[in-house]
């Protein structure tokens, strides 16, 4: 576990998605962080008080969390300097970047001298190779038309709604932000490819309590960079149910300029087709849409249009909740889900 309270470091993030780790912690673990710190070029905030390192220590912070994400998960010289400042003030440091704190010699040496912890969340445990063997329990996986379309938020919102109804449901984190929120999980994009499906099997072992494992999806089968991790999760999760996640208004795949976001019906069918390898009866139960780019009644109209086309309940998990998606999940699996 990461010692709290946290100070969330936003770096030089200049778009909301670049601060998704910090935002996820602020939204889903309210009270865990007492403030945020950013470089002069940062243009985003997660709504917490801006603090200096010294201010946060005086306020009781115990860990600086690197709350930004960038392509490749790298640390530049500015970030390294900020980490060294935090260590010098006695703070532990936690990071979900691909570049590991412990692999930066000056950071490792400073932490050893100060006797503070370096917590690299993207360090997977020893994992087995996937077997494809059938196992007991119910599992739901969120899948997407692209990366960063709201799979983590959707999965957490489903957990919240299901638990409110008395249904046993557990969020299973597969990304750095989800792990920091849940306190456990597997950083699936840091797993060697041969072990991807095994990691998903390890994360969601057999359960006999009639409950659900809700698995945070990653990437997209249509992303030229991240399709592999999406496929590994589909096979290893052996999902009974899928929820398709999408961002309204996004036209091209993130980090590319030439690959279009796929048609929702096509994307859903490809995910179902791939999932049937290890879960022959997998079915879609809903669509979750990030409608933050839409104004007024346009969000509701968009979701209704998706419902008419796909025949599935469609909601924005943040603005509308997930009650109707959960209603459909219950209806589809009535013998195994308490009403």
CATH number, domain of 98, equals 3.40.50.720
Residue 25 placed within a domain: yes
Percentage of the chain beyond pLDDT 90 is 87
Structural domain range at position 255:
138-336
* Residue among 78, 124, 114 at smallest CA distance from 93: 114
Model confidence at 188: pLDDT above 90 = yes
Residues 257 and 306 in one domain: yes
Task: Tell me what the mean pLDDT of segment 261-282 comes to.
Answer: 98
Cβ-based neighbours of 133, under 8 Å, separated by 6 or more: none
- Mean pLDDT of all residues belonging to the chain: 94
Please give the Cα distance from 115 to 96 (Å, whole number).
21
Residue 131 placed within a domain: no
Task: Tell me what the mean pLDDT of segment 163-190 comes to.
Answer: 94
The number of CA neighbours under 13 Å toward the Cβ of 210 is 10
Q: Which of 10-14, 59-63, 153-157 has the lowest mean pLDDT?
A: 10-14
What are the tokens at 148? 């960063």
Residues 25 and 172 in one domain: no
Q: What is the rounded end-to-end Cα distance, in angstroms, of the chain?
A: 34
Model confidence at 1: pLDDT above 80 = no
Please give the Cα distance from 2 to 64 (Å, whole number).
10
Residues 145 and 93 in one domain: no
- pLDDT tens-place string over residues 99-116: 999 999 999 999 999 999
Cβ-based neighbours of 241, under 8 Å, separated by 6 or more: 138, 139, 140, 141, 282, 283, 284, 285, 329, 332, 333
Residue 127 placed within a domain: no
What are the tokens at 130? 């996937």
Model confidence at 236: pLDDT above 60 = yes
Residues 278 and 227 in one domain: yes
Please give the Cα distance from 251 to 261 (Å, whole number).
5
Exposed/middle/buried for 64, CB within 10 Å: 0-12, 13-18, 19+?
buried
Percentage of the chain beyond pLDDT 70 is 98
Q: Which of 9-18, 45-54, 57-66, 105-114 has the lowest mean pLDDT?
A: 9-18
What are the tokens at 61? 């912070």
Residues 111 and 258 in one domain: no
Model confidence at 339: pLDDT above 50 = no
pLDDT score of 105: 97
Task: Tell me what the mean pLDDT of segment 160-172 comes to.
Answer: 97
Task: Tell me what the mean pLDDT of segment 2-17 comes to.
Answer: 91
pTM: 0.88
Confidence of residue 338 (pLDDT cuts 50, 70, 90): low
What are the tokens at 93? 């440091």
pLDDT score of 327: 98
CATH of the domain at 192: 3.40.50.300
pLDDT score of 255: 86
Number of domains in the chain: 2
Residues 54 and 155 in one domain: no
Task: Tell me what the mean pLDDT of segment 68-81 comes to.
Answer: 87
């Amino acid at each position: 576990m990461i010692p709290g309270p946290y100070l969330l470091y936003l770096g030089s993030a200049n778009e909301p998605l670049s601060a998704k780790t910090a935002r996820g912690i602020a939204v889903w673990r309210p009270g865990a962080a007492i403030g945020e710190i950013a470089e002069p070029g940062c243009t985003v905030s997660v709504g917490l008080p801006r603090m200096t390192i010294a201010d946060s220590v005086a306020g009781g912070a115990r860990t600086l969390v690197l709350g930004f994400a960038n392509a490749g998960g790298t640390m530049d010289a500015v970030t390294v300097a900020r980490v060294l400042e935090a260590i010098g003030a006695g703070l532990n440091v936690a990071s979900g970047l691909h570049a590991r704190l412990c692999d930066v010699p000056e950071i490792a040496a400073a932490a050893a001298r100060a006797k503070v912890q370096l917590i690299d969340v993207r360090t997977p445990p020893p994992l087995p190779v996937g077997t494809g063997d059938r196992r007991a329990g119910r599992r739901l996986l969120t899948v997407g038309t692209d990366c960063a379309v709201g799979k983590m938020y959707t999965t957490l919102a489903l957990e919240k709604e299901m638990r409110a109804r008395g249904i046993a449901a557990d969020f299973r984190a597969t990304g750095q932000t989800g792990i920091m929120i849940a306190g456990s999980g597997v950083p699936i994009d840091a797993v060697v490819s041969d072990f991807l499906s095994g990691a998903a099997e390890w994360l969601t072992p057999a359960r006999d309590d009639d409950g659900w494992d809700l698995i945070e999806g990653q990437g997209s089968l249509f992303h030229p960079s991240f399709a592999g991790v999406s496929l590994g999760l589909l096979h290893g999760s052996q999902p009974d149910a899928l929820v398709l996640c999408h961002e309204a208004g996004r036209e091209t795949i993130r980090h590319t300029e030439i690959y279009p976001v796929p048609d929702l019906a096509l994307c859903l069918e490809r995910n179902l087709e791939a999932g049937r390898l290890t879960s022959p009866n997998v079915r879609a139960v809903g669509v979750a849409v990030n409608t933050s780019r839409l104004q007024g009644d346009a969000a509701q109209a968009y979701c209704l249009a998706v419902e008419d086309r796909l025949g599935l309940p469609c909601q924005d998990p943040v603005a509308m909740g997930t009650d109707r998606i959960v209603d459909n999940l219950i209806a589809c699996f009535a013998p195994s889900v308490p009403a």
